[in-house]
Amino acid sequence: MEYYSWILSFHVMSFMSWMAMLFYLPRLFVYHVEHAHKSEFVEVVKIQEYKIYKYIGLPAFWATLLSGAAMLIVNPVLFETGTWLHAKITMVVLLSAYSFSLEYFRVKLEKGECERSGKFFRAYNEVPTLLSLLIVGYVVLKTFSLLFTSISIGIFAFIIYMIMQQKEKIG
């Protein structure tokens, strides 16, 4: 337990760095897709996409996972604190899958093989916000609330619906 607070601090900082990539990379995808006709611009965006994923996102992802595992090893009592930890871990698994999906889209965009629209990436950009909201909610409140989870999902489903209803911008 002596090192738990240090590990927790590192975990929070790693999570923040990972989230920065998860929030920004889909926005770059929007710019990439909506300005595909500007080849010089797209080449710059491709470099940004690569660097934010490989140099910020991926290391921060691994640092978050490893520090989270270290916290559980140092403080196994966390497993006995209720369903909130299991809910958090479930959301982290979903967030991890989302993170790897961004690399899938990045590679497709780099090769010019992605058929997704700017509207799709605007909506897709809401996913990490929802998952991080749930993760932070479970951790801070130290509880799993089906009502909190359902309301959060409902609000974000509405936001995504509204994004998808917007007219496509061509730029």
Q: Which residues define the annotated binding site for heme?
A: 11, 88
SS3 61: helix
Those residues whose C-beta lies under 8 Å from the C-beta of residue 63, and which sit 6 or more positions away, are 10, 14, 17, 18
Separation of alpha carbons 33 and 121, rounded Å:
9
Query: Which residues line the annotated binding site?
Result: 11, 88
Q: How far is CA 82 from CA 77, 95, 137, in A?
A: 10, 21, 14
